Structure 1
Amino acid sequence: MDDQDLSGLVRDALGAGRRVVAVDRLRGGSRKGVYRVRLDGGRTPSVIVYNWAATESFWPGARETDPADPFTPASGLVPFLAARRSLDGLGARVPRVLLTDDTRRRFPADVAVVEDIPGGTLEALFETDPGRAAQSLARLAETVEVMHRHPGDRYGRVDLLERHRPGSEVPCERRVLDRALRDLEEAAGRDGRIAAAEAALRDRLRELADRVDLRRRYGLIHGELGPDHVLVDADRHPVLIDIEGLMYFDVEWEHVFLRLRFGGHYTALARPGLDPRRLDLYALAMRLSLVAGPLRLLDGDFPDRAFLKRIAEHNTGAALALLP
C-alpha cells in the first residue's frame, strides 16, 4: 500500500485533517499486510491498517480447499469480523475497529483500520518487564478459560458456522490425522531425516489416532495463540490479534500449541481434565505441521528465511523425538 492509499483510509476512519507522517510494515503476518501508520497531531498518534490483498500473502498457492475443514486458510474481512464479534461477546479484548471496507472502492482488496496497541507483544514483555508480563499472562489465562469453556456442538471456523455452513461429519481427531499425514508426506519430500523416518512416523500417527475416543462437544480456540499474537494495552489487558482462524475445535489442539509457544510460562495457562491421548496425537501432528509449513513458505518470497529454517529444523528434531 502506498501513502496515498493509507492517507485516504485514515482520513475516512478518523476524519479530515490527519496527515500520514510515517509508515512501518510490521513483521509476522504471512497472509495479510499489517501497517503501522503514524499521524501528526490529534489524540490518535497511530493506527494499524490490515490489507488482505493476495499480493500480501507469502504462501505459495493453495493446498486445502474443503470449506468444512477448519484448517483451510482464513483470510479477509469476513473471518476477521466474525471472530471479533465472537471474542468481543465473551469479553475478550480485541483491537477496536475504526473502519472496514470490502467494497473495493477505496482499495482493490479487503482492508481494515484498527486501533494501535502501543504496549507491544506479550512475547517481548516476558523479556523487558517480567512483572507486568505475569499480570497480563494471568488475565490471558482467564480469557482462554472462558473461550475454551464456551461450548459448541459442531466444530469449524466461526465465520463459516455463523453463515450456517454445514458442519463436517469427519471427527476432529480424524481431521487432524489426515492433515498430519499430508504434512508428513510433504515434509518427507523436503527433508531427508523425515523421509528416513516416514514409515515410522506414519505408523505412530495412526496408532495414536486409534487410541482417541469420539467427542462431539468443542470449545472456542484461537488456533495460533502464541505470545506474539497477544498485545498488552496500557491497562495490562491482553489483546488478541491474528484472530481470523478462530474456530470451535478440541481444546487440546490449542493447549498443545500453548505449551509449545509459551514454554516455561505455560504453567499459568494449563488446566486439568485434558485428554492425554488427544494431546499425544496432536503434539506429533503439530510438530509435523511446523516442519511442512515453514518449508512450504520457503517456496515463496518470505523475507526472513533463516527464521523459517530454524523453525523447521527445531520441529524436525522434536517430531523425531516423539517416536517410541
Structure 2
Amino acid sequence: MTAAAEFAANQIRFWGDAERKWEWPADPDTLPVSVVDNHCHLDFAAGPEALHPFAALDRAESVGVGRIVQVGTDLETSVWSAKFAAIEPRVLAAVALHPNDAPDVAAQGKLEFQIGELDRLAAQPRVRAIGETGLDYFRTQENGRSAQAASFEAHIALAKKHEIALQIHDRDAHDDVVETLLRVGAPAKTVFHCFSGDVELARICNDNGWYMSFSGTATFKNAPYLREAFEIADKALVLVETDSPFLTPEPVRGRPNAPYLMPHTVRRLAAVADLPVAEMCEIFNRNTEAVYGSWEAGL
C-alpha cells in the first residue's frame, strides 16, 4: 500500500448508523465550471459505505467540484487535515478546536497547550484558515460559554498572526459573534461557515466585508430566510460548501453528504441570484481564491 493510500484509509472518526442500509445518491449533473467546496470533513467515515478521502475527491472532481477545504474540529483532526493538504493538490486545510469542545479542553487545563499546537500547524504553507471556531449556544450551556469565548478569541488571534482566514461556527449566537469580532477586530478574511443568519446578519456581513459560506441548508424547504439572505448578500462575499458529511442538500436530503453533491446547492443558489450557473460558479471561484489563495502553492 502506498503512503497516500494508507493515509486515505486512516479516517479517524465514524459518523452514521452502522446498521442502517442506504446508498449514495446518484451523481448530479456536472457543473459547467469547476468550483471549490469551502468546508468539509473527509476525516469522517460516513456510515458503512464510507467514501475514502481520495475516492471522495475523485467523485467530486468528476462533477465539477475540483478542490476542497478540509476542516479540523480538534487537535487530532487538525493534524490529519494539515497532513492531507500537504500530500494532495486538491486540498487546503483549516485547523481549530470546535467551540463545543473548547469547554472540556479548558476544564482539562489543556486549552493553552492545544492553541500552541494549532499555532504550529497554522505556520504550514497549505494550512490557509483557522476554523472551525466560534460560538455555539445550541449545545454549549451557560457554564461553558466563558471558556468557549476565550477559545474563540484565541483562534481569532491565530488567524491574524498568520494572516490567514478565519472560519466561524455560529449557532444561535449571532449577536455575540458579531460583538466579539467588532470588539477584538476581525481578521482581514473572516468567513461565516454554514451561514445560518437572516437578512439582518447578511447586511452586517456586507457592511464589514465578512464572507458568507452557504451550505445545503439553503436548499431546505423550511429555510427561506437563508435564501432571502443570499439574495441580498454582496456577491463579492459569497462562498459555497457542503459541511459534509452533514447538511445534505435537497433533493437528496436524509443521507450522508459528500463534496460530489454540492452541485445541487450551487444550482439552487444560482436560481436564487437569478444568474446562469456558470456565472455563479465564477463568482464563487473568485471569492474563494480571494479568501484562501492558490491551491497550487505550498506543495
Does the pair score TM above 0.5? no
What TM-score comes out, normalization by structure 2 length? 0.29
For the pair shown, which has the larger CA radius of gyration, 1 or 2? 1
What TM-score comes out, normalization by structure 1 length? 0.27
